[in-house]
């Protein structure tokens, strides 16, 4: 498949798909996210910073800190992610070497590439992070581990609750 966006954007998609999968759990640590989503940590930390600056993530400092989604995954589009992370990647740089394609200088394939860019923005503007995350193929390939983390969190919470009940019942 043609990827009209940078590696940073691909890392953002994968990282945010993981975050959306564990959204109900709350905060996540960058190191854990990188390991579980299979993205390189140094580059992804930069991407996370961009997403915080762009208002898609909250950064929490101190003990128990980490990151969390600023909005529900249903209200974040893939195009928002692309425009935050790939700033300048979608400029009018000419593939024929004419500098910036625009109103004054246009290469022979300008109109075709402009239509492709407009179509891409329209299509990605209609797909939400929640839809990306709920994709069956994505869940089977990438989100198996994050879902198991959610289950581990729920198991821990149930265990704590059961231990609390046992103590109050004298067991």
Would you mind telling me the total number of residues written for the chain in this entry?
Answer: 171
> How much is the pTM?
0.68
Q: How many percent of the chain have pLDDT more than 90?
A: 20
pLDDT value, residue 123: 81
Which of 106, 111, 60, 51 has its CA nearest to residue 82? Answer: 51
pLDDT digits (tens, 9 = 90+) for 47-81: 999 999 999 999 998 888 888 899 999 999 999 99
**Which sequence spans correspond to the domains of the chain?**
7-130
First-to-final CA distance of the chain: 59
- Fold exhibited by the domain 7-130: Arc Repressor Mutant, subunit A (1.10.10)
Whether 136 has a pLDDT exceeding 50, the answer reads: no
């Amino acid at each position: 498949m043609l990827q009209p966006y940078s590696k940073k954007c691909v890392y953002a998609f994968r990282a945010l798909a993981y975050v959306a999968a564990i959204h109900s759990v709350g905060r996540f640590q960058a190191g854990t996210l990188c390991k579980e989503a299979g993205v390189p940590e140094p580059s992804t930390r930069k991407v996370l910073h961009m997403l915080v600056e762009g208002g898609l993530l909250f950064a929490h400092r101190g003990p128990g800190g980490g990151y969390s989604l600023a909005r529900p995954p249903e209200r974040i589009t893939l195009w928002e992610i692309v425009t935050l992370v790939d700033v300048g990647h979608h400029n009018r740089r000419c593939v024929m070497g004419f500098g910036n394609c625009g109103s004054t200088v246009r290469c022979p394939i300008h109109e075709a590439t402009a239509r492709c860019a407009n179509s891409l923005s329209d299509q990605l503007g209609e797909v939400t992070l929640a839809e990306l995350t709920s994709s069956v193929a994505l869940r089977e390939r990438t989100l198996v581990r994050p879902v198991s983390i959610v289950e581990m969190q729920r198991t821990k919470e149930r265990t704590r609750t059961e231990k609390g009940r046992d103590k109050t019942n004298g067991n």
